[in-house]
A = this chain, B = another copy of it.
Amino acid sequence: MDLKMKINAVVADAFNVYPHFANTLPAQRAALMHAIAMALQANETELIHAAAKETHLPPARLKTELNRTILQWNQYADACAAGKWLHISKDLSGPAPILKMNRALGPVVVFGASNFPFAYSTPGGDTATALAAGCPVIVKAHPAHPETSLLCAKLLQTVIEKEGFSPPIFQHVPDEGFETGALLVQHPLTAAVAFTGSFSGGKALYDLAQARPAPIPVFAEMGSVNPVVILPEAQKDAEALSGTLVQSLTASAGQFCTNPGVWFLLQTTHTNHLLAALKKALNKSQSEPMLHEEIAKSFSTKRKEVLASGMVDLLASAEAPGNDLFSIPTISTTSAKKFIANRMLREEIFGPYAVAVLCNNMQELAEALEAMDGQLTGTIQARSADEILVPEILEILERKCGRLVFNGVPTGVTVTEAMHHGGPFPATTDSRFTAVGADAICRFVRPVCYQGWPGHLLPQTLQSFIGT
C-alpha cells in the first residue's frame, strides 16, 4: 500500500469514530485519561530506557519529564470532567431557549517535539488535550525517537481498547519523511494540527494548512529566544544572578523552547562585574550530549557563524568537547546597535548559547526590544530601585511575549490553568491559544449554539451540564 493510501485510511478511520467519540461524556474521557496516566506510570522503566537510548537525555531528566507527562494526563482529565472548557452559555429569557457549548473539531494530527519525547510528543499535552476535547488523534512519530514513540503509542492503544473506546481514537503513523506529515495535514477530513518544533517545520505545515481548499487551525509552537532584561540594581546581585541564568541556559544542554538566549543589560558601573560573574559561572558548566547529531551539528555551525560574524565578542565558552554530539555552552556580548542591525543576532541558536546585549540607555534598550520578533516568554530582573523602569519595558514585552517572568528565569513551565505557553508569531502560529495548562483543550473545539431545542434532544454532554 502506498503512503497516500495508508494516510487516507488512517484519517478516514479517525473521522469515522469522531462523531461517537465527540459524544462520549467528558467524565468518560477523563476516566480513559486517568487510566493512560496510570499505564505510563506502570511502564516507567521501559519508557525511560527507550527514550534515553534515542535522545541521549539522562534518565533523571527523563523521569522528571515522564512525571510531568503523567501529571498532565491527570490534570487535563480533571479539567475535561469539570467541563469549564465547554464554555456553556444559556439564555432562557426569550421565546426559544438559546444554549451554547464547545464541540470537538474533528481528527487532530499531532507532531511531537524532539526535545520532549514524552511531555510534548506521542503521549504529550497535545494528544491529551485533543482527546479531552473529544477529537480523535493521529500522531506522526518523530524521526528522532521512533521507538519511544511506538512504545508509547502501543501503551495508549492497549489502554484505549481495555477501557472500551474505539481503537481509531488514537492512531500512530511512522515517519516516512516530510510527505507523511504533508499528507496528514492536507487530508480534507483532518480538522486541526498541533506541532512542536522548529520554525521551518511549523511554518511549512502552517502554509500547507492555509493553502487547503478549506483552511484548518494549526497550533505550531516554534522558536523563541526568550529575552531577559537585567536592570541596573539587579545587576548588583552578580553572583546569584549569574548562577541562576547560566543554570537556566545550560539545563538539558540548552534544549528547552524557553531557553534564555538574549540578555539585555542596561549598562551601569556594575555591568562589568556581572559579565565577569557570568563568565565565571559559564566556565564551570559542562559540555553535554545533545538530542542527536543533527541538532548538535546545527548548534555548532550556528555558534561558529555568529562568533565569526564580527557582530559579537566571545565572553565565555565551555571547553570544546572531543565529540560531535556534545554542546559547547557559550555566552557572547554585543551592542544594542549591532543587535538591532543584524537579524542573525536575534535568531534562535537551539542549544546553550546566549548573547548579552549591552544597552547604553533606556532608549537603546527599548529599541532593541522593539527589534525582537514574537516570543514565548520575556523576563525582567529588577530590584526596588529599578521599578521605575519596569512599566516602559513591560509595555513592550506584553506586545511581544506570551508569558512575562519577574525575577525568575523562563525555563520551567508550570502545568496550571493560569499558564500561557504560547506567544505572537513566529513563537507560535496562533498566539491566542496555549499549549500547556487545561486551556490547551480549547484549541480543539468550536462553539455550537442550540436554539429552541427540547432538552431531551440536546447532546448528552449538554444535558449533563445544563443544570450546572
A contact residues vs B (CB 8 Å cutoff): 19, 23, 87, 89-91, 93-94, 96, 98-100, 103, 106, 206-207, 210, 214-215, 217, 373-374, 387, 390-391, 394-395, 398-399, 401-408, 414, 416-420, 422, 424-426, 429-432, 434, 439, 445-454, 457, 459
Contact = CB atoms under 8 A, between A and B. Distances in A.
Nearest to A387: B457
Closest 7 CB pairs of A and B: A420-B449, A89-B418, A91-B418, A403-B449, A91-B416, A406-B452, A98-B418
User: Which of A94, A408, A448: most chain B CB closer than 10 A?
Assistant: A448
Q: How many copies does the complex hold?
A: 2
A401 B103 CA distance: 11
Nearest to A97: B418
A104 B90 CA distance: 26
Contacts of A404: 448-451, 453
Contacts of A89: 417-418, 439
A239 B98 CA distance: 26
Contact of A448 (B103, B390, B401): B401
B420 A448 contact: yes
Contact of A450 (B103, B406, B439): B406
A402 B447 contact: yes
A217 B432 contact: yes
A452 B422 contact: no
A387 B458 CA distance: 12
B420 A100 contact: yes
A206 B215 CA distance: 10
A106 B402 CA distance: 14
B90 A418 contact: yes
A241 B150 CA distance: 57
17 contacts: A91-B418, A91-B419, A96-B408, A100-B417, A103-B398, A387-B457, A398-B448, A404-B451, A405-B452, A408-B452, A420-B448, A422-B447, A424-B446, A431-B446, A432-B446, A432-B447, A439-B447
A403 to B, nearest CB: 4
A426 B391 CA distance: 43
B215 A448 contact: no
A77 to B, nearest CB: 18
Given A402-B446, A432-B446, 19 more contacts: A89-B418, A91-B419, A98-B419, A106-B399, A207-B210, A214-B374, A403-B448, A403-B451, A404-B451, A404-B453, A406-B451, A406-B454, A406-B457, A408-B452, A418-B449, A419-B449, A420-B448, A431-B446, A439-B447
Contacts of A452: 405-408
Nearest to A430: B217
A262 B427 CA distance: 43
Given A419-B100, A432-B446, A451 B94 contact: no
Nearest to A425: B214
Contacts of A103: 398
Contacts of A447: 402, 420, 422, 432, 434, 439
B448 A414 contact: no
A404 B96 CA distance: 12
A250 to B, nearest CB: 21
A165 to B, nearest CB: 18
Contacts of A425: 214-215
